[in-house]
Amino acid sequence: MSVLACLGLCAVTGALGFTFARGRPGRGELAGEPTYLALHIAGLAAPSLRGGLNGNSARKAVRHLRTLLGTSALAITSAERVLARDGDGVPDDDRVLTEVRVVMMGGRPHVVAGEPSAVLVPLTVEGRMIGTLAVYDAEVSAVLVRTATEVGRWVSGQLELAELDTSRRRMLEAEMRALRAQISPHFVYNSLTTIASFVRTDPERARELLLDFADFTRYALRRVRDFTTLADELSCVDRYLLLERARFGDRMRFTVQVAPEVLRVPVPFLCLQPLVENAIKHGMPGEVRVVIKDAGPEAHILVEDDGIGMDPEHVRAVLGEDGTAGIGLSNVDLRMRHIYGHDYGLVVDSAPGEGTRIRLRVPKCHSAHNAS
């Protein structure tokens, strides 16, 4: 069990003394029995909550949570619907959701007087409110409010661990896809075919392109978990473009503008080349531009083209690529969010006939950096 889970359970068992013991232990009752019962019931609810907040996990956990609180009824909700309920006295969904909206707007526990009385506690993950724990009883005392709040915090902790598990699993899947397809098979085939076409007509050009291909593959076959610098990423992009320019000739136009101050900024390995590859794939014929600016604590990267553009459905499909045609935008997006947080994913703006713009922000300093 994680430290977070243990600390959460300690808080819950401390707050639940009123439910299981209202004084000294009775005859035949062990001094630690209330604590044991609270830990046992919380342990029964935890596995379901570690599946995240959904209908299935809520239905499995709701009965245990109501037993833990000792109230007449309890409901678990998302921001939009009632996921599960247990006991007698939970109002209809419309009434529950009316109170849920109050909690979601206020961000704090909300007490409802009436028949039945209730206290609704927000459930949060990484500071985001994702639902509520709605506790119903004949009356709401200050003790019940405190206890429901502590249980809500513990449930939020379990949901946060579930989010962490999901993030870790997606990251591992992204790394495996990247390892399987660090270089597009089509790119390898096209590059070698292009090099072969120069062997007789321009042997020196063929030799230079072959060396560029060797340098690109050497860089791309490094460990996917490595960090590098923007300067190295740009060198990789340069070799990639030399090979593509040999293939497309004058049909491919490309410009790069880079603030010198950001060249040594540490970045995740192969975070830039896939963006350029996407711009060429979806922007030809046309001009591809890379602009990297110094933005104080961050480096801002823009990769854009003036090609035919993409409709929103196609953008979603591109972001959902499985990596079989290269690293894939979805792979870069997942890695950036995992390393830096949800605010640092790719931002893709595109529309038919208006080209495509991909924006990426990279913090200059981060504890996970281990630039090579």
> Distances in Å between the alpha carbon of 166 and those of 53, 162, 172?
12, 6, 10
pLDDT digits (tens, 9 = 90+) for 22-35: 344 454 454 467 77
Say yes or no to pLDDT of 186 above 90: no
Averaged pLDDT, 281-310: 88
Q: Cβ(346)–Cβ(303) under 8 Å? A: no
Q: Is the peptide bond before 363 cis (omega within 30 degrees of 0)?
A: no
Q: Which two tokens stand for residue 211?
A: 């060396």
Work out the percent of the chain whose per-residue pLDDT is above 70: 83
Say yes or no to pLDDT of 7 above 50: no
189-193, 277-281, 316-320: range with lowest mean pLDDT: 316-320
The pLDDT confidence band at residue 109, using thresholds 50, 70 and 90, is: very high
Say yes or no to pLDDT of 8 above 90: no
Say yes or no to pLDDT of 134 above 50: yes
Q: What is the pLDDT of residue 321?
A: 58
Give phi and psi for 222, each to the nearest 5: -70, 170
Gap between the Cα atoms of 62 and 75, Å rounded: 7
pLDDT digits (tens, 9 = 90+) for 59-98: 999 999 999 999 999 999 999 999 999 998 899 999 999 9
Q: Greater confidence, 179 or 164?
A: 164
CB-CB neighbours of 17 under 10 Å: 15
31-35, 70-74, 150-154, 304-308: range with lowest mean pLDDT: 31-35
Residues 6+ apart with CB under 8 A from 359: 300, 301, 302, 346, 347, 348, 349
Q: What is the pLDDT of residue 277?
A: 87
3-class secondary-structure state, position 91: coil
Say yes or no to pLDDT of 326 above 60: no
On the 0-12 / 13-18 / 19+ scale of CB atoms within 10 A, 295 is middle
Closest Cα partner for 266 from 294, 228, 225? 228
DSSP H helical segments within the chain, as ranges? Answer: 3-15, 17-20, 33-49, 55-69, 93-106, 142-180, 185-198, 203-220, 230-248, 273-283, 312-319, 329-340
Query: Mind giving me the DSSP string for 157-205?
Result: HHHHHHHHHHHHHHHHHHHHHHHHTSS-HHHHHHHHHHHHHHTTT-HHH
Gap between the Cα atoms of 328 and 278, Å rounded: 8
Core vs surface per residue 225-253: b (16+ CB within 10 A) or e: eebbbbebbbebbebbbbbbbbbbeeebb
- Which of 40-44, 220-224, 356-360 is predicted most confidently? 356-360
Mean pLDDT of the chain: 82
Closest Cα partner for 215 from 180, 183, 246? 183
Model-wide pTM > 0.85: no
Helix axes 185-198, 230-248, angle to 10 degrees: 60
Closest Cα partner for 206 from 215, 197, 214? 197
Say yes or no to pLDDT of 1 above 60: no
Gap between the Cα atoms of 253 and 255, Å rounded: 7
